[in-house]
Amino acid sequence: MSVNATHHDDARVVDPIRPQLTGPEIDPQSNAPVAEVFARASSLVTGPTLSLASRVNNCDDIPWTPFPMPGTSFKLLNINETTGAASILLYVAENAQAPLHMHCGAAEAFNIFGRWAYEGEAESIGPNHYIYEPSGIVHLPKQEVESLMFGIFHGPIVGYNEDGTVAGVITHELLYDLAAANDAVAHLPARTGR
């Protein structure tokens, strides 16, 4: 039986791919709830959205929490329980060295102050540099001086031991749990996934 079939004595052909071009499915004015949404979407913007609440925090009020790497601390600014992303401020002391690690999701950072580089790459990263690290990248940052950066991890980070075995996995949940243990999550909304 083909997709286009003639029904009994009816001479019209039924095509499940193509919608009917008449009726309330096409004319929004014939469907009151749809017409209301169209009206809202095309109305003039006259003020701020009052039904959604922005969250503004003074980062000075958020305690520093030890990050899962010696010589580093972080302030958890936000997590996205749906995507697994985490937004943080990350402080790295002058002699702290990150292990070889892989980003399971992309990472973005803005270096506020300090200087560091990726092993094997000539260009160092200084103040006011934006960094994008694609998902799947394996690299080894080398710290030159103390630094502070704003970062967004769009997925877990896997750290490796020198022999190539997994040393640990940093997830948004781990960062939240560490910050919660340090009483550093009062500025965040209640978790829904727990």
Confidence of residue 152 (pLDDT cuts 50, 70, 90): very high
**Tokens representing residue 24 in the block:** 């309330």
What's the whole-number mean pLDDT along residues 115-123?
87
| Strand partners for 147 | 92
What is the chain's mean pLDDT, rounded? 86
Q: What is the DSSP string of the chain?
A: --SSEE-TT--PEE-TTSPPSSSTTT-GGGSHHHHHHHHHHHSPP-S--SSS------GGGSPPEE-SSTTEEEEEEEEETTTTEEEEEEEE-TT--PPSEEESS-EEEEEEE--EEETT-S--B-TTEEEEE-TT-EE-EEESS-EEEEEEESS-EEEE-TTSSEEEEE-HHHHHHHHHHTT--TTSPPPS--
* pLDDT recorded at residue 84: 92
Instruction: State the pTM of this model.
Output: 0.74
Averaged pLDDT, 154-173: 95
User: What SS3 class is residue 180?
Assistant: helix
CA angle 46, 49, 51 (to 5 degrees): 140
pLDDT > 70 in the chain, percent = 82
Mean pLDDT of 104-110: 97
15-51: per-residue pLDDT in tens? 566 655 555 556 667 778 877 887 777 778 777 766 6
* pLDDT tens column, 62-93: 999 999 998 999 999 999 999 999 999 999 99
- The ranges assigned to domains in the chain are 59-181
- What's the pLDDT score for residue 77? 97
- CATH label, 59-181, candidates 3.40.50.300, 2.60.120.10, 2.120.10.30, 3.40.50.2300: 2.60.120.10
What's residue 11's pLDDT? 57
DSSP assignment of 46-81, as one string? -S--SSS------GGGSPPEE-SSTTEEEEEEEEET
Contact 72, 123 (CB under 8 A): no
Whether 68 and 168 have beta carbons less than 8 Å apart is answered as yes
